[in-house]
Structure 1
Amino acid sequence: MNGLTELDGASKRRNASRHLRRTIQNDWAESIIMEDNISKIKERLDVVEVLSGYIKVQKAGMNYKARCPFHNEKTSSFYISPERQIWHCFGCQKGGDIFGFVKEIEGVEFPDALRILAQKAGIQLQHHELISNKDAKSVLFEISELATKFFEKQLRASRTGMQALKYLKERGLEENIIDEFRLGFAANDWEALSRFLKDRGYNESDIVGAGLAIKREGKPGVYDRFRSRIMFPIMDLNGRVVGFTGRVFEAEKPLVTKGEQPAKYINTPQTLIYDKSMVLYGLSKAKQAIRQNDKCLLVEGNMDALMSYQAGVANVVASSGTALTPNHLKILQRYTNNLDL
């Protein structure tokens, strides 16, 4: 018995040792690849070019200067050094490289700043082969993006969709705003979107996980959550689609389940990528204007936000009919402490 116990203990120690070696190897490989990603981005992007995409800069000798976007000031104390590829504000003492600037101004963590800058640089980020498999969130982001494109097409390709487009224009929305905010239409069909996504290799479980379909009761299969609705994609701070608000469009009687009373508006339920207490409609587009104006206008409905944006009020977001949460306020405080209701 003692011999078997010793062998079992030795086996466990060997397994633990192999696991530790793999962990160290993976961490080392990830570190090398991360450094390579950062180096490639810095080789492609110039600090002045990146920052001038967010703020107005002017030449000041060998450097550039601007009004700091992170605090209110009347004279420029924000300087950019092309030679050193860094920036520094002598007013609020913030500074760093392009990654630090994007983190600060976009209100994101380093991985998202890396992704934003990689996109600007036209670089495909490398990942270590041991962790390159898609995680659950990545699949939901893909499904949500494909659904948005599907709804956009339906708004102009189907008879009822074109009626919905006409309705939006009659409400006062201009074509460029409809396109910019990627409005779409969900057909009055039980499985139109589900079929589209399954044809592209996604399974029913993932489609349900994205909040776009509902499992049938008592029998196999799923049906589309959004039917005969004008679709408003909801974006995260990085502009990725995470969910939808669907407004019922009654050009034809909407298909409903037994006992269902179609609500005027329905939202995506909570998913791995969508939490209504953390997302405000339009914030991905409004955040820079909110910071520049040091004020956020909060409206209730998505249409209210779109009409305000169209009228030139760029620092507007909508709560999409949900109550304002402490998380909403915390996110807005990245950009301003002033909120107009």
Structure 2
Amino acid sequence: MERSPIEEIKSRLDIVEVISSYLPLKKCGANYRTLCPFHSEKTPSFFVSPTRQIWHCFGCGKSGDVFKFVMEIEGIEFGDALRILAKRAGVELKPVSPEYQKLKTERQRLYEICELACKFFEKQLEGKTGKEVVKYLVERGISEESIKKWRVGWAPETKRSLVDFLSKKGYKRDEIEKAGLVIKSETHEYFDRFRGRIIFPIFDINSQVIGFGGRIFKKEQGAKYINTPNTLIYDKSKVLYGLDKAKVEIRKKNFCILVEGYTDTILAHQAGFENTVSVSGTALTQYQLAILKRYSDNLYLAFDMDIAGDFATKRGIDLAQEAGFNIKVLILPKEKDPADIISKDPKEFEKIVLNAIAILDFYFQSAFSNFDKNTLEGKREILKVLLPVIKRVENKVEQSFWVSKLAKELDTREESIWEELEKLKLEERGIGLEREEEKILQRSREEVLEERLLTLILKFPDNLNLIDENSFSFFSQKGREVLESLKIKNKELSLETKEYFDILSLRAEVEEIEKEKVIPEIKFCLREIKLIKLKKELEKASKELKKAEEEKDEKRIKALIEKISQISKNLSKL
């Protein structure tokens, strides 16, 4: 019998390999662990089990298989996760299959539109103006190989070339508009968004085209760059240009070079700095930082750093500091960007990377070169720049070093700097940069005790006899099924209980407890579970008795009094 695409994908992909392409996993016994990407934590509680092909966070409670992980980390529906993993596993999803048709989502249509648009733009390079574009890019230092690798294209100076092309391929105009590729006029006419521009496709982490950037070419009017607006599949605040090609190198080299533009990124990769990405048209956001954090804690900034004037850049650096990044700054020659330096002499850029300075050193150098430390006004401006940066340093020893250095440079007492630091209140994060509310699964004490007890039984199965079959009724439905399956070997579990059993088994593998403490702990958990259950039953019976008394139901009253008496006796035995 032919396996379904879902089963085929699961059989071909290893969950450890998939998750490690997103997160840095460390071996922990038979399993792997890392910091959870779904909630803030300092001690890793996110585990991956290669044996069971599942993941679980013991901090926030989220768990699942490889499909669930991709859905959670990418923020997508099951159909999109299926398509991503099918591509990765080399499994063909046949368009004729009802499973494929059912899961073909609106997002999938937009991905298809963007991919076709990308091919359209690439094809235009073969025309007369397209060849001029290639010549221009080559003169800028971008090789023809890089043009193909990054799928650079050309949008012709026509009103409806792309929209007509996509319409003939069977896509509706409102779908093309949703992909951000056309503009709808007041008269309800559709025009290509990108006209007479060099096109840089923007890719997601899986190298799927999700948007475009367009650079002006051979004309004076219009913005130098325009980008796809935010769509269902593209949000510029959550995308880093080039990350799909840089993620492996970032992890390998353990630092990321962050630049501003498309050409900076392409030329950096071409010159061997394949750990380079760019923000492309947006200030650095916390969402982008959270993505980078999966690959490295070290960030090298290679763009114009006007500490006095560029509020957006400074806010991005503040966010990176708060996120715990080790930040260094590449000191670029004035009026030069990485593309200018690399196209002239890649070795020069290599020296700049090697000589990158720590962010605090950069702030000190900039503040003291921009303002006169010998005047009161100058001192005030220097403090305005440096105090918030020092305040954000979490390590107190490091913070003391910078306070001492600042006091010495300004020829003032350290105590005065500390006093000013105490008075300083750091600004709240800007609108749109708030942390998404973390949803941590809240469990009752009863659930926690049951999980703890079952985990210990799975870890030390010889102690199963401590729980007699009369005690099974005190457990949840899933808990009872687990206990029964341990008593009766090869008992089949329901799908929900199988997932629960796998998580408990994973917990048992990572659990550390001294052997002599196991039996007392099992007994304690069992007693507490019974106590909670019996108290709930007593409370329920008491309420029913009160109601029966109000209704003067003598038969019911007698039965409930007997029930309450029996529950009380059971409680006294514990």
* Shared fold per TM-score greater than 0.5: yes
Question: Of 246, 255, 264, which residue of structure 2 is paired with 1:304?
Answer: 264
Structure 1 residues 174 and 130 mapped into 2: Cα distance closer, same or farther (>3 Å)?
Answer: closer
Specify the alignment match of 1:185 in structure 2: 154
TM-score, length-scaled by structure 2: 0.42
Q: Where does the alignment leave 5 or more consecutive residues of structure 1 unmatched?
A: 1-32, 56-67, 72-76, 80-86, 255-260
Specify the alignment match of 1:226 in structure 2: 194
Question: Of 154, 175, 178, which residue of structure 2 is paired with 1:209?
Answer: 178
In the alignment, is residue 96 of structure 1 matched against residue 49 of structure 2? yes
Counterpart of 1:321, as a letter, is G
In the alignment, is residue 196 of structure 1 matched against residue 165 of structure 2? yes
Query: Number of paired residues?
Result: 270
Structure 1 residues 108 and 215 mapped into 2: Cα distance closer, same or farther (>3 Å)?
Answer: closer
Structure 1 residues 292 and 78 mapped into 2: Cα distance closer, same or farther (>3 Å)?
Answer: farther
Counterpart of 1:297, as a letter, is I
Structure 1 residues 130 and 179 mapped into 2: Cα distance closer, same or farther (>3 Å)?
Answer: closer
Specify the alignment match of 2:145 in structure 1: 176
Specify the alignment match of 1:280 in structure 2: 240
Q: Where does the alignment leave 5 or more consecutive residues of structure 2 unmatched?
A: 35-43, 56-64, 302-574
Q: Taking every aligned residue pair, what percent have the same amino acid on both sides?
A: 46
TM-score, length-scaled by structure 1: 0.69
Specify the alignment match of 1:26 in structure 2: none
Distance 1:210 1:184 in 2: 18
Larger RCO: 1 or 2 (CA < 8 Å, sep 6+): 1
SS in 2 for 1:152: helix
Distance 1:262 1:210 in 2: 22
Give the deviation of 1:335 after TM superposition: 1.3
Structure 1 residues 274 and 46 mapped into 2: Cα distance closer, same or farther (>3 Å)?
Answer: closer
Q: Is the 1:191–1:224 Cα contact (8 Å) retained in structure 2?
A: yes
Structure with more of its chain in strand, by fraction: 1
Show the 5 A alignment for 1:143-158: 143-155=113-125, 157-158=126-127
Specify the alignment match of 1:10 in structure 2: none
Q: Is the 1:69–1:292 Cα contact (8 Å) retained in structure 2?
A: no
Give the deviation of 1:42 after TM superposition: 4.4
Specify the alignment match of 2:408 in structure 1: none
Distance 1:38 1:140 in 2: 23
In the alignment, is residue 238 of structure 1 matched against residue 191 of structure 2? no
RMSD after superposition: 3.4
Question: Of 238, 249, 263, which residue of structure 1 is paired with 2:217?
Answer: 249
Distance 1:140 1:38 in 2: 23
Distance 2:213 2:93 in 1: 32
In the alignment, is residue 328 of structure 1 matched against residue 288 of structure 2? yes
SS in 2 for 1:277: helix
Give the deviation of 1:136 after TM superposition: 2.0
Distance 1:190 1:159 in 2: 18
Q: Is the 2:180–2:231 Cα contact (8 Å) retained in structure 1?
A: yes
Structure with more of its chain in helix, by fraction: 2
Specify the alignment match of 2:497 in structure 1: none
Distance 2:274 2:54 in 1: 25
Distance 2:116 2:291 in 1: 27
Give the deviation of 1:228 after TM superposition: 0.7
Specify the alignment match of 1:164 in structure 2: 133
Per-residue CA distance 1:217-248 (angstroms, 9 max, x = gap): 2x232111101111000011111111100001
Show the 5 A alignment for 1:7-46: 36-43=4-11, 45=12
Pair member with larger Rg: 2
